[in-house]
């Protein structure tokens, strides 16, 4: 007897399918993306007795019609050869709505087990079930479960094992669609059976016949069914003329009629049916007056919780990597293999630390999101924001990642997984880099005080943030009207009852996202950090414009002879060392690229130094400030930090200062953002297009602003 089986887990969104999956598989899971799309792929396994079961968790779907990427993926998985069992998770608190998918799954002829989940919610609603009648009607065993607590999971696993061992395809009653429709199905079935090949022989011909009559795009794309299409078109025309309604709509009606008949004698509700607690909460949380302000407060608290709680852990990780780097430097003599010493401490340890430092942010963010999702509030958030965001081509769920993008684009992009629509999720990811993340804040903090008076500084900070939001929404609108057209999809928002999330589910959610971040983004960032380190180091300059060592020695000697304070002498020496470092950097690959690109960047007000700093900022936006500090031969003390601002004010105009911020806001984000973007979009092409588009928009906008300032003489004079 076969010892290893494959089962697929299917159900509506918000039916508790993920809880069932986690309860059955535990930590034995693999998470990724389906090839070519952003929809999540999740699989796991469990063992019971002498058999092993692999479970593929399908995306949440309402039907097997090909109206969304999720439904197309579910269709492809369910019609593959090798599927031994369907585990259909049903929200038993709303059985009539959830059983619509069950009728379609039954037509596949694959053994099935029904998990009537959320049975506690059904009980609270006063619902009771005649399970033997329902099992007979659908030809499948039914188990009542509560996925979030694990109730009924052992019985479900036992039923799964028993059904797999029997491997019998129980006869199920096929829904009657009416005489004319049944005749049409029979005619198309005969055509499918006549022309269909071996590749589809494992699925009943009736299933494909119905899908052809429903004009399903996935079935229409199957080559073996091409010769059956004329008969399907002929029958569709006949049904449309006979009933003045599309066949797909008519068959949907008949399915619901079948469900009504099944539930009429097997599902009963008590007469004392009190109003649910969820309805009372929604009277406030989803209120048309209070819902939006409360939503903003909850999003703010999520944002505050994520970055406040993560900060101590980020500091500890930063300190740990700093200690590791200092320990290596102390144990490794600087004159012994200096390149490899610097590569290990500054490139590898620094690169890995720069990635892992974001891990607490990732974990706490998804812990908070998991609470919102598992409690049922995320569906309310989508409902509240959907109308507003749709004006810009997005949906309500896009709002949460956009807000989180103000803290860090990396976890914000990962947070887009709460968006089910592939188009909306892709557009949201592509506009997220326009949110002013925390890494850009040091640039603003450097530039604004250098060029703008104290009374205007807060306004300038507000303006630069608003520009990012406005451009992001405008870009979303343009993309949805051009590259990502098509709002033919109906976005159904389920409002499940409020629930208390389980700790186990929250921790699994955190673990999944943390593992993905470390494994994918971390490796890419490590490689690019090493490459950037090499570009900033080689070629090394050996002949300088002046003898810095001799000048430093003379300055120290002269200072001591004049009795000058040691602090002043050290400051002069530090300035000379930084000036030497600046000359060395100009000679490196990064410096040479900056000089080479200077003519290209001059229309936006950048010289070679700003260009070089912008190249370094690809690793992390904060690098822009440190690169300028080296280039302008400034130390790292607070006093010299002020001097850097003064030096910028002496070399650049306020117009150039504003253009620095504008270009930093709109240009290519850090490599960590690009890496996670590639991972989430599952496409190198989209990532590269995004990077080039951001650069083009940033360059065009900054050039327009700078040239306008030059034309009208706005902010073009150096500050006295």
pLDDT single digits (tens) 400-415? 788 777 767 877 887 7
Number of domains in the chain: 3
- With beta carbons less than 8 A apart as the criterion, state whether 619 and 532 touch: yes
- For the record, the structure tokens of 14 come out as 């918000």
The CATH number assigned to the domain holding 261 equals 1.10.287.1770
Is there a single domain that holds both residue 135 and residue 251? no
Instruction: Give the closest residue to 432 by CA, choosing from 460, 456, 462, 410.
Output: 410
Would 574 be classed as within a structural domain? Answer: no
pLDDT at 34: 43
- For the record, the structure tokens of 488 come out as 């033919």
Would 381 be classed as within a structural domain? Answer: yes
d(CA 536, CA 539): 8
pLDDT single digits (tens) 255-310? 777 787 778 778 887 644 444 566 777 777 777 778 878 877 887 777 677 767 87
Is there a single domain that holds both residue 141 and residue 248? no
Q: Mean pLDDT, the chain, as a whole number?
A: 79
The neighbour count for residue 148, using CB atoms within 10 Å, is: 22
pLDDT at 633: 41
**What is each CA distance from 56 to 69, 221, 333, 513, in whole angstroms?**
17, 24, 54, 18
Is there a single domain that holds both residue 139 and residue 208? no
Element (H, E) at 480: helix 454-481
Instruction: Give the closest residue to 203 by CA, choosing from 189, 186, 183, 184.
Output: 189
For 525-534, what is the mean pLDDT?
66
Q: Confidence band (pLDDT; 50, 70, 90) for 33? A: very low
Is there a single domain that holds both residue 83 and residue 136? yes
d(CA 412, CA 429): 8
Last residue of a domain, one of 267, 283, 303: 267
Residue 636 confidence (pLDDT) above 60 = no
The neighbour count for residue 99, using CB atoms within 10 Å, is: 28
Burial class (CB in 10 A: 0-12, 13-18, 19+), 389: buried
Would 297 be classed as within a structural domain? Answer: yes
Element (H, E) at 129: strand 127-129
Last residue of a domain, one of 504, 538, 560: 504
Is there a single domain that holds both residue 256 and residue 305? no
- For the record, the structure tokens of 267 come out as 């599902």
The CATH number assigned to the domain holding 64 equals 3.40.50.300
Q: Transcribe 585-640 into DSSP letters.
A: HHHSHHHHHHHHHHHHHGGGT--HHHHHHHHHTTT-TTHHHHHHHHHTT--SSHHH
Would 624 be classed as within a structural domain? Answer: no
d(CA 299, CA 276): 25
Would 85 be classed as within a structural domain? Answer: yes
Of the two residues 482 and 379, the one the predictor is more confident about is 482
Last residue of a domain, one of 106, 140, 166: 166
Residue 622 confidence (pLDDT) above 50 = yes
Q: Coil, strand or helix: which one is 143?
A: strand
pLDDT single digits (tens) 542-564? 888 888 888 888 888 888 877 88
Element (H, E) at 551: helix 548-562
Would 487 be classed as within a structural domain? Answer: yes
- What range does the domain containing 392 cover? 292-438+458-504
Would 106 be classed as within a structural domain? Answer: yes
Would 414 be classed as within a structural domain? Answer: yes
Three-state secondary structure string covering 595-607: HHHHHHHHHHCCC
Is there a single domain that holds both residue 81 and residue 35? yes
Helices (H), 332-358: 338-342, 350-356
d(CA 350, CA 368): 29
Is there a single domain that holds both residue 225 and residue 342? no
Is there a single domain that holds both residue 405 and residue 327? yes
- Calculate helix-pair angle for 179-195, 205-213, nearest 10 degrees: 120
The neighbour count for residue 173, using CB atoms within 10 Å, is: 12
Q: Coil, strand or helix: which one is 45?
A: strand
d(CA 695, CA 676): 18
For 680-686, what is the mean pLDDT?
86
Is there a single domain that holds both residue 162 and residue 193? no
- For the record, the structure tokens of 326 come out as 């200092």
**What is each CA distance from 338 to 76, 506, 585, 642, in whole angstroms?**
56, 46, 17, 32
DSSP-derived letter for residue 337 is S
- For the record, the structure tokens of 51 come out as 């058999």
Is there a single domain that holds both residue 463 and residue 353? yes
Q: Confidence band (pLDDT; 50, 70, 90) for 358? A: low
Is there a single domain that holds both residue 242 and residue 304? no
For 75-89, what is the mean pLDDT?
90
Question: Can you give the pTM of this predicted structure?
Answer: 0.55
Is there a single domain that holds both residue 30 and residue 65? yes
């Amino acid at each position: 007897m076969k010892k290893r089986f494959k089962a697929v887990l299917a159900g509506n969104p918000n039916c508790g399918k993920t809880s069932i999956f986690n309860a059955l598989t535990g930590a034995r899971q693999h998470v990724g993306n389906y090839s070519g799309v952003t929809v999540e792929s999740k699989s796991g396994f469990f063992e019971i007795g002498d058999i092993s079961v692999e479970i593929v968790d399908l995306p949440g779907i309402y039907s097997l019609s090909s109206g969304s990427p999720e439904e197309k993926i579910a269709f492809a998985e369910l019609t593959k050869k090798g599927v031994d069992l369907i585990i259909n998770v049903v929200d038993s608190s709303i059985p009539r709505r959830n059983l619509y998918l069950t009728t379609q799954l039954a037509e596949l002829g694959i053994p099935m087990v029904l998990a009537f989940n959320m049975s506690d919610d059904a009980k609270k609603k006063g619902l009771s079930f005649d399970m033997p009648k329902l099992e007979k009607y659908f030809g499948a065993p039914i188990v009542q479960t509560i996925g979030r607590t694990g109730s009924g999971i052992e019985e479900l696993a036992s039923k799964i094992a028993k059904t797999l061992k029997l491997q019998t395809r129980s006869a199920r009653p096929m829904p009657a669609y009416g005489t004319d429709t049944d005749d049409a199905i029979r005619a198309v079935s005969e055509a499918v059976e006549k022309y269909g090949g071996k590749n589809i022989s494992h699925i009943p011909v009736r299933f494909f016949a119905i899908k052809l009559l429903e004009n399903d795009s996935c079935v229409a794309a199957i080559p073996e069914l091409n010769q059956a299409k004329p008969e399907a078109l002929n029958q569709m025309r006949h049904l449309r003329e006979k009933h003045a309604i599309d066949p797909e709509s008519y068959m949907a009606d008949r399915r619901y009629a079948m469900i009504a008949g099944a539930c009429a004698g097997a599902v009963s509700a008590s007469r004392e049916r009190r109003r649910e607690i969820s309805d009372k909460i929604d009277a406030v949380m989803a209120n048309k007056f209070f819902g939006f302000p409360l939503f903003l407060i909850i999003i703010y608290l999520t944002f505050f919780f994520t970055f406040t709680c993560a900060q101590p852990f980020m500091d500890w990780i930063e300190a740990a990597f700093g200690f590791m780097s200092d320990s290596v430097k102390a144990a490794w003599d600087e004159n012994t293999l200096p390149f490899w010493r610097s590569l290990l401490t500054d490139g590898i340890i620094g690169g890995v630390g720069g990635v892992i430092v974001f891990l607490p942010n990732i974990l706490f963010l998804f812990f908070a999101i998991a609470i919102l999702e598992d409690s049922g509030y995320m569906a309310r958030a989508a409902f509240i924001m959907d109308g507003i965001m749709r004006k810009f081509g997005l949906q309500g769920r896009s709002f949460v990642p956009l807000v989180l993008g103000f803290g860090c684009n990396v976890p914000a992009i990962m947070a887009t997984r709460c968006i089910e629509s592939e188009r909306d999720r892709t557009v949201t990811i592509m506009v997220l880099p326009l949110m002013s993340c925390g890494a850009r804040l040091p640039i603003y903090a450097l530039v604004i005080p250098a060029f703008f008076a104290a009374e205007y500084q807060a306004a300038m900070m507000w303006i630069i943030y608003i520009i990012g939001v406005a451009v992001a929404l405008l870009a979303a609108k343009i993309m949805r009207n051009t590259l990502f057209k098509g709002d033919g999809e109906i976005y159904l928002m389920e409002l499940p009852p409020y629930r208390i999330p389980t700790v186990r589910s929250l921790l699994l959610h955190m673990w999944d996202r943390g593992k993905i971040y470390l494994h994918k983004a971390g490796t890419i960032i490590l490689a690019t950090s090493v490459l950037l380190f090499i570009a900033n180091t080689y070629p090394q300059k050996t002949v300088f414009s002046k003898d810095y060592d001799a000048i430093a020695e003379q300055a120290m000697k002269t200072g001591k002879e004049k009795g000058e304070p040691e602090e002043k002498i050290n400051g002069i020496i530090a300035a000379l060392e930084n000036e030497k470092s600046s000359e060395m950097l100009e000679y490196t690959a990064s410096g040479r690229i900056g000089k080479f690109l200077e003519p290209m960047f001059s229309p936006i007000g950048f010289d070679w130094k700003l260009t070089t700093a912008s190249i370094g900022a690809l690793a992390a936006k904060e690098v822009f400030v440190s690169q300028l500090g080296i280039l302008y031969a400034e130390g790292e003390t607070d006093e010299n930090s002020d001097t850097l601002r003064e030096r910028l004010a002496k070399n650049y105009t306020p117009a150039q200062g504003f253009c620095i911020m504008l270009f930093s806001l709109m240009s290519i984000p850090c490599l960590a953002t690009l890496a996670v973007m590639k991972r989430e979009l599952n496409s190198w092409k989209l990532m590269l297009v995004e990077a080039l588009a951001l650069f083009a928009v940033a360059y065009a906008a900054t050039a327009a602003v700078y040239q306008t300032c030059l034309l009208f003489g706005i902010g073009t004079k150096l500050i006295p």
